[in-house]
Structures are given as C-alpha cells and as structure tokens.
A and B are shown apart, each in its own frame.
Chain A
Amino acid sequence: MTGEREARGADGMGRRRRSGAAGLGFALLRHRVGIVGAGLVLLFALLAAAAPLIAPYNPLAQPAPRLLPPSPAHLLGTDEFGRDVLSRIIYGAQVSFQVGIVSVAIALLLGGTLGLTSGYYLGAVDALVMRLVDVMFAFPTVILIIAIAGVLGPSIGTAMLAIGIVYSPIFARVVRGPTLAVMRQQYVEGARAAGAGRWRIMLRYVLPNIAVAVIVQATLSFSTAILSEATLSFLGLGAQPPYPSWGTMLSAGRQYMELAPWLVLYPGLAIALAVLGVNLLGDALRDVLDPRLRRSAA
C-alpha cells in the first residue's frame, strides 16, 4: 500500500486527511485573502438563504413612490415601479446562487462523467470525448451560452442548462487527467487483480484523487456561472421581469439612470462583490488544499 500513500501525499490529500475538516478551516483562516472571500460568500449565501427574513420589503410589491433616492426608509432607493431596490438585491442573491449551484452541478455531472469515462476506458471513447471537448473550447464561452439559451428560449431554467452545458468540458478535462494518472498506478492494477470491480476502483481510488481539483474548479466555475447568469439576464435571455435578478435589474435601470443612478450602481456592485468573493475563496482553496495547483501567475 506504499503506492497509495505516496499518491495521496503527492497531491496534498494526505495533509488534509490528517488534519480533517477543522484543519482545512484553520488553514483557510490563516489565509487572509481567503477570509475576505469566505466572508463575502457567506454574506451573500446568508442573504440568499434568509431573504424573506432580512429583506425589509416584498421584492415584487410596489408600495412606495417611483424612483425614490436612497433614504432611511429605502436604503438603496426605489425603482421605476416603486419597488425597494435593497429587497430586490437581497432576493437577487437567491437567483444568483440558485443558478450558480444548479449550473455547476450540471457541468460537474456532465463533464465529470465524460472525463471519468474518458480517463478510465481510454481508446476510442477517450479520443471521441476529447475531440468533443476540443471543439467546445473552440467557441468563446459567452457566445455559446447566449446562442444555446437564446435558441432554447429565454428563462432562468434554460440559462442554467446553457451555462451547465458550456462549462462541462472544463470539468471533463479536470477529471480526466488525474483519472488517467491514478489508473496507471500499481495499486489500481493490484486492486483489479484482486477482483475489484469498475465501481469499486472508481469510488475507492479515483474519486479521492480527483476531489481536490474538482472542488477548486467548481468554486471558480461558480463565480463565472454567476457572472454568466447576470450577463444573460442583462441581455434579456435569462431571468425575466419582474423576477429580481441582478442582471435584469441593471438592464431595466439603464433606462432611468439619468434620474436614478442608484438603479445601475447597486445591482452591478452586488454582482462584482459576489464574483470577487467567490474568486478569492476559490484561489484560497486552491492554495490551501493543493500547493501543487498554485498558479505562478497569482
């Protein structure tokens, strides 16, 4: 079993195993940038989860005069229908997180399965999957997302599907490499000789070795998914009004920005802060979990 210990140690899993989840928490806490990122993510997650409790008003109700500037009653002002901007931004976090989680899950499921199959079976399957991945990488992601979402019809559901499909090749690549490396290890050969089946090999040997890379990639993709949803909604191809999405709010606010600049200021700020938070957290996770993956470009 020496080989197994080595393989784990090499990708930092050994250290994580020893210190456990608490150790990971402490390591993140020592990482100053990571704290800021985790703090921002936690803040937005809290807003999303507890929106009905935190939001001062109903995000769809129109109780106030239109285009009120920020005031103690409406901290971020009201929009063109007299809806409270702060409440809409809080509910917007729900939309962003929902899209982020669902589309990354789709990408992970689709891409992860492709990558795992590809790295496990090799040969013709691998060649086919990798060519498909190459072709998908030949499209600028935003264009492909817009085209798929546009053709399927504008809605939050198709937005999640489009984002998930377009991000899946990244996961196929992230998963395939380590799978290939593990499959070449002697201990896998040994396990196979001892009669371990396909599923046992994947769960027992492959999965632990790809977990770190997948977690880091999922975090980073989460931020691009949030940004993609905002972009799609901004273009009218994602969440539809009166649904409070940051992108939709920003796009609707543009018509009134001369009178009410807060309508374009705050939704954009929310997008930027959420994306920043998730990115910082992703970078910190990468540093803490896997020193080998640390970018020299950081």
Chain B
Amino acid sequence: MGRYIVHRLILLVPTLLGISVLVFVLLRLLPGNVVDVFVGHEAVVSQAQRQALYHRFGLDAPISVQYLRWLAGIGHGDLGLSLRTGQPVMRDILDRLAVTAELTVLSACLAWLIAIPLGVLAAVRRSGGVDLAAHMIALIGLTVPSFWLATLLLLVTSVYLRWQPSPIWVSPFESPGTNAQQMILPVLSLSAALTAGVMRMMRSSLLDVLGAEYVRTARAKGLAGAAILARHALRNAAIPVITVQGIQVGYLLGGAVVIEQVYGLPGLGWEILNGIYQRDYPLVQAGVLCVAVGFVLVNLLVDVVYAYVDPRIRYDG
C-alpha cells in the first residue's frame, strides 16, 4: 500500500506541472496585458511609469523566465499580487478555500448519506415504490440546473416562508448555528445532482452484483438476505461507485462557483468570479490553480481509498 501511494505521488508531479503551465498560459489569452488592465483608462500614465509597472509585474523578462519565476513564487507560497489591492493574493485565497471546502464536503456527505441507502433499497426492492421514487429523484436531480434549483429554493424560503439567514457569512468556528443556517440551502442545491448520480450508480452496481454467481452460491448455502448484502454484495458493489467519486468532486467544485454566487457565499468560486468581473486576473489565476490542485489531490485520495477497498488495483498500478 505504501509503495502504491509513493508511486501515485510521483505520477502527480507531471500533472501538477502541466496544470501550472496551463494556468500560466491562461493569463496570456488576455487581450493586451495585465499592465493595460491595471492602468485602465487613465491616459496620464507616462512611458516611464508603464515601464516601472512592467518591471513590477515581471513582464520585462522573457516568457520562460516569467514562468519559472511564477513557479518559484508558488513554491514559496507567493501566488502573485492582486491588481485591485496590490497585496499578495495568497492570504485571501486561503480564507476563501475554507468556505468552498466546507460547502463541497457537506454537499458530498449529504449526497452519500441519502444516495447510498436509497440506491441499496431501490436495488433490493427492485420495481417497488422506493425504486420508483428513486427514479424520479434521479431524473430531477440530473436534469434541473443547480443554479435554477438554488434560485427556486431561495424564492420559496425567502418569499413564501419569510426565512432568511444572516446575509454576512459566519465561520462555523465563530457560530456553528448561524453557519449551519447559512449552509442549508447551498448544500441542498449543490448536492442534488450528486445524490442522483450516486444513487443511480449504487442501484445498478448492486443489481449487477446481486446477479453474480457468488451471491447465488451464498444464497444456495442458505445465507440470509441481510448477511449476503452485508458480507458479500455491498463491498463489491461499492467499487464502481467509489471510482467515480473523484470525478464527481470535480462537478461539485465547478457547481460551487455558481452556488456561491447565488447565495453570496465568499468561497473560492465567488472569488474567481469577482476577479473576473473586476479584471483582477492574478487572483483568477491563483483561484483556478487552487481548484485544479485541490481536484487532483481529491482524485488521488479517491484512488487510494479505491486501492484499499480493491486490493487488485495495488498490484496492477
């Protein structure tokens, strides 16, 4: 297991380098350059001042040097300067990351908590009432865009139920109660699609396993249904469900951008969008880099869990 993890960590290096190149190139897509954006419409900037700005943002060096400098900076925890405040973006990003992490982790937990038992029930009682309900939930969850669901939830709670949590975000460490109130709707909106996806996977995966030979053998031996489920079926049925969780987290991180915007949660997605609206591109760059690295690390974690559940993987990979 240890060797497998080390192997995976080594494989991580080229991916991370690739991500850094892509994020670096992203800013080069900008029509004009960062200094033009920084100076904006102020016409009274002299050539000398412009040169000074070029130097300050390091734009006077060759592009390969710029990239290496930027990479070295990241190594020191320096993600660049905000165009709006002139301050390092790192500090801001870390605060935002905490909000997004809370939102995605809670959404994933809620989704699994609902989806896995429901998927198991739907498979065990195939074509029954639970199965039908599960089908309906899956259809809605996979079809309704998260930002529409978020808007409708907001409409129902604030307009019809007259319920409105505090509009200024409070950390769970400051006031768990207030924080929980603020997170209910965002978590519900974000987890809907994941719930539907996981439930569908769980159901079909368990159905596959329940039709397998070894389950028939166990049944022939006289093992009770519950024992078969607990001892043989669930563990095997979980394997394909776990594999896709890494990708699912990607959907959550992407979805979080929109959900944070709808509910005004100051997370990473909200920060990236604000960076875009205010043309603060180093901030966008840092935010996107953080999300991508987080996504890759979560995928690594999923693969490790996967290897733990299914020992065959460790020897292949």
A contact residues vs B (CB 8 Å cutoff): 131-132, 134-136, 138-144, 146-148, 150-153, 227, 230-231, 234-237, 250, 254, 257-258, 261, 264-265, 268, 271-272, 275-276, 279, 296-298
Q: List 26 A-B contacts (CB under 8 A).
A: A131-B14, A132-B18, A134-B18, A138-B292, A139-B295, A140-B253, A140-B295, A143-B253, A143-B269, A143-B292, A144-B288, A146-B257, A148-B26, A151-B284, A152-B29, A227-B145, A231-B145, A231-B147, A237-B276, A250-B147, A254-B151, A272-B145, A272-B148, A296-B204, A297-B200, A297-B205
A143-B253, A152-B31, A235-B258 are contacts. A298–B288 as well, Cβ < 8 Å?
no
- For window 191-242 of B, CB contacts with A under 8 Å fall at 200-201, 204-205, 208, 240
Question: What residues of B have a CB within 8 angstroms of the CB of A135 in the complex?
Answer: 15, 18-19, 21-22
**B143–A235 touching, CB < 8 Å:** no
Q: Can you list, as one digit per residue, whether each of B252-279 has a CB less than 8 Å from chain A (1) or not (0)?
A: 0111011001000000010011011100
Tell me whether A138 and B15 are in contact (CB under 8 A). yes
The dominant DSSP class at the A interface is helix
A237 surroundings in chain B (CB, below 8 A): 276
- Per the bound structure, the CA–CA distance linking A17 and B304 in Å amounts to 45
CA distance A50 to B50 in the complex (A): 53
- Beyond the given A143-B292, A146-B257, could you list 20 further A-B residue pairs with CB under 8 A, ordered by the A residue number? A142-B255, A143-B288, A147-B272, A147-B276, A147-B288, A148-B29, A151-B30, A235-B258, A236-B277, A237-B276, A250-B148, A250-B151, A254-B151, A261-B159, A264-B151, A265-B152, A271-B148, A272-B148, A275-B145, A298-B204
Is the C-beta of B71 less than 8 angstroms from some C-beta in chain A?
Answer: no
C-alpha spacing A148/B31, complex, angstroms: 12
A143 to B290, CA, bound (A): 11
Looking at chain B's contact residues, the main secondary structure is helix
Binding site for A on B (CB under 8 A): 14-15, 18-19, 21-22, 26-27, 29-31, 139, 142-145, 147-148, 151-152, 154-155, 158-159, 200-201, 204-205, 208, 240, 250-251, 253-255, 257-258, 261, 269, 272-273, 275-277, 281, 284, 288, 291-292, 295-296
A56 shortest CB reach to chain B, Å: 24
A-B interface contact total, Cβ < 8 Å = 130
- The one of B159, B204, B205 in contact with A257, judged by C-beta atoms closer than 8 angstroms, is B159
Whether B254 lies near A151 (C-beta < 8 A) is: no
Residue of A nearest to B151 (CB): A264
Which residues of B have CB within 8 Å of A258? Answer: 155, 158-159
Distance between Cα atoms of A235 and B258 in the complex (Å):
7
Taking the nearest CB of chain A, how far is it from the CB of B242, in angstroms?
14
Q: Which residues of B contact A138 (CB under 8 A)?
A: 15, 18-19, 292, 295-296
The closest CB in chain B to the CB of A237 belongs to B276
Minimum C-beta distance from B309 to chain A (A): 18
A253 to chain B, nearest CB (A): 8
* Min CB–CB distance A148 → chain B (angstroms): 7
Q: In the complex the two chains form, is A257's CB within 8 Å of B18's CB?
A: no
**A231 and B145 alpha carbons, distance in the complex (Å):** 8
**What CA separation (Å) do A232 and B272 show in the bound complex?**
13
Contacts of B143 in A (CB 8 A): 272, 275-276, 279
Report B302 CB to chain A, min CB distance, Å: 14
Verify A150–B200 contact, CB threshold 8 A.
Answer: no
Q: A141-B254, A146-B257, A150-B284 known; A272 and B151 CB under 8 Å?
A: no
